[in-house]
Structure 1
Amino acid sequence: MKALSIAATGMNAQQQNLEVIANNIANINTTGYKRARAEFSDLIYQTERAQGVPSRANQAIVPEGALIGLGVQTAAVRNLHIQGPLTQTGNDFDLALVGRGWFQIQTPDGQTAYTRAGAFNTNAQGQLVTLDGYTVVPGVTIPPNATSVDVSATGQVMVTIGNDTVPQQVGQLTITNFINEAGLEPQGDNLFKQTPASGDPIVGAPGDAGFGEIKQRYLEASNVDPVKEITDLISAQRAYEMNSKIIQAADEMASTVSKNLR
């Protein structure tokens, strides 16, 4: 009985959907997190009767066929790169992106990763780094005697040293865009990696055409909507229950047939 295997694919799909929702809720307070959504597609169809062919030799064409679907599968888990709300922190090294763009981060293996989480700090050498100590690209070094740090909306890093009244520029931040942000591969630690699906990074200065701007002393919060996640959770739970009832019904029908054959 195909209903058993069909309902089993439905239960498996809803279980994966639940895992995606659980991860969204777990990261509801993660800086720069982008909620994910499970996308599904139907499986191949089994033809019981073909349409568009004669019912018998030299007879009329069958207008409709009988095709039985064999279930569902998870086609993709899509990260929705929608702007999250901004949270004011007052920290000079907290930077939020307003609009499109990604900060560039150099990982310990020399690769470039990308993030929306601008919770930065300085290391012992004064370099601008992430919370895990990864260097921000292009490199920016804050002098040890700097009394104030200001980052403009266009990415210019200005510092005031000692008793100077005129700030001086110590760096220029750039950001990247991708033609297909959904193709980026999440790596954990708020980092994403370029893939063939995302396309090559397009580097530009904040505020350029097609690029977002930087807002200092703010962080971009997670774009997870708690109300929507709870709604999706209830929907997934109900769908799982309905598939389990189909399995129960199919099992009872098979049991009835088996008893009648004895």
Structure 2
Amino acid sequence: MLRGLYTAASGMMTQEQRHNTVTQNIANVNTAGYKATNSVQRSFPEVLVSMIGGNDSSNAGRKLGKFNTGVYAEESISLYTEGALRETGKNTDFALVSSFTVQNPATGQDYPFDASGRYVDENGEVIYRPEGFFTVQDENGDTRYTRNGSFRVSPEGNLLSESGYQVLDNNNRPIILTGSASDFTVNEQGEIMDAAGNGTGIILGVSIVSQPHGLIREGNGVFRMSDPDGEVRFMTPADNGVVRQGFIEGSNVDPTQSMVELTAALRAYETNQKIVQYYDRTLEKAVNEIGRV
């Protein structure tokens, strides 16, 4: 009896985590460059059920089958699909349009990634599509990555992210602009041009992360690599990536799907809650009524 109680309780905790994940997505539906998160659920390991006891000794140890004893929220996975671009007209706003590919060495063809940027081969190996990010440096000098291209220029000419981090060029150096903030443009390859349209030799550091599933959120739309030695390189003109000045990438959260997920999590939570209440009433009868017999 208590096994069912624990199973229902684990279901309630899992749906609570699922609910928290969806509400976080909804709260950031208008956050520039925000990437939605999905909560991955997994059942507890299967256990073998056997018949024990009884008057018939032939039933002892009879195998009844396997079943799971609950579910838990294993992890949260970010979806790196691109959000819709919104034109702002500000020359310090940038959006990254990227569609990077990976070639299958066996066939010479590009992997057909699905909408979430994954491909599972015939051996079950998961291959992820590389993703591009603007490269920034936090106050501790550590490299971070973001899709939020809402930048600003400090009085000293430093190009800063919305969180106040230094925006880096493709040589990992902080970008410092000379002259007025309105006197520069950026071409599609990310090169900063002066007021006369001449190249300055400074290129926005657009990092291509080969294993984006290894990124860890730090808040404010900023990510860091879980493995400091993970494969990251800067975008080159040969890559299929474009920097759009005067645009901002919106959130990739689907509000309609999020509301469906929210309702489903609530209904599942209520179902498990009723099961817990049922077990509570059953235990109450076992203790207070059957115990008096």
Same fold (TM over 0.5): yes
TM-superposed CA distance for 1:22, in Å, is 1.1
Q: Which letter maps to 1:180?
A: Q
- 8 Å Cα contact 2:191-2:204 kept in structure 1: yes
User: In the alignment, is residue 254 of structure 1 matched against residue 283 of structure 2?
Assistant: yes
Distance 1:14 1:189, change over 3 A: same
SS across alignment from 2:89:
coil
List gaps (5 residues or longer) in structure 1: 51-55
SS across alignment from 1:231:
helix
Distance 1:199 1:9, change over 3 A: farther
Distance 1:146 1:91, change over 3 A: closer
User: In the alignment, is residue 45 of structure 1 matched against residue 75 of structure 2?
Assistant: no
Distance 1:145 1:27, change over 3 A: closer
d(CA) in 2 for partners of 1:47, 1:39: 25
d(CA) in 1 for partners of 2:180, 2:210: 41
- 8 Å Cα contact 1:206-1:214 kept in structure 2: no
TM-score calculated relative to the size of structure 2: 0.78
- Aligned residue runs from structure 1 range 99-248, under 5 A: 99=98, 100-138=131-169, 139-145=174-180, 148-160=183-195, 165=196, 167-196=198-227, 200-205=230-235, 207-209=237-239, 211-248=240-277
SS across alignment from 1:176:
strand
- 8 Å Cα contact 1:155-1:206 kept in structure 2: no
TM-superposed CA distance for 1:47, in Å, is 2.2
d(CA) in 2 for partners of 1:207, 1:219: 21
TM-superposed CA distance for 1:181, in Å, is 1.0
Distance 1:147 1:250, change over 3 A: closer
TM-superposed CA distance for 1:21, in Å, is 0.9
SS across alignment from 1:70:
coil
Task: Name the stretch that deviates more: 230-239 or 198-207.
Answer: 198-207
d(CA) in 1 for partners of 2:274, 2:133: 46
Distance 1:10 1:145, change over 3 A: closer
Q: Which letter maps to 1:40?
A: Q
Counterpart of 1:2?
A: 3
- The Cα offsets for residues 67-106 of structure 1, whole Å up to 9 and x where unpaired, read as 2322111111111111001010000010001123011101
TM-superposed CA distance for 1:44, in Å, is 2.5
d(CA) in 1 for partners of 2:182, 2:66: 73
Distance 1:248 1:217, change over 3 A: same
d(CA) in 1 for partners of 2:182, 2:76: 46
Counterpart of 1:94?
A: 93
- 8 Å Cα contact 1:126-1:141 kept in structure 2: yes
SS across alignment from 1:101:
strand
List gaps (5 residues or longer) in structure 2: 52-56, 99-130
d(CA) in 2 for partners of 1:243, 1:147: 58
TM-superposed CA distance for 1:213, in Å, is 1.5
d(CA) in 2 for partners of 1:204, 1:65: 57
Distance 1:242 1:37, change over 3 A: same
d(CA) in 1 for partners of 2:246, 2:236: 16
Counterpart of 1:69?
A: 68
d(CA) in 2 for partners of 1:90, 1:65: 68
d(CA) in 2 for partners of 1:167, 1:47: 72
Task: Name the stretch that deviates more: 41-50 or 98-107.
Answer: 41-50
- 8 Å Cα contact 1:155-1:205 kept in structure 2: no
Q: Which letter maps to 1:219?
A: I
SS across alignment from 1:148:
coil
- 8 Å Cα contact 1:178-1:202 kept in structure 2: yes
TM-superposed CA distance for 1:145, in Å, is 4.9
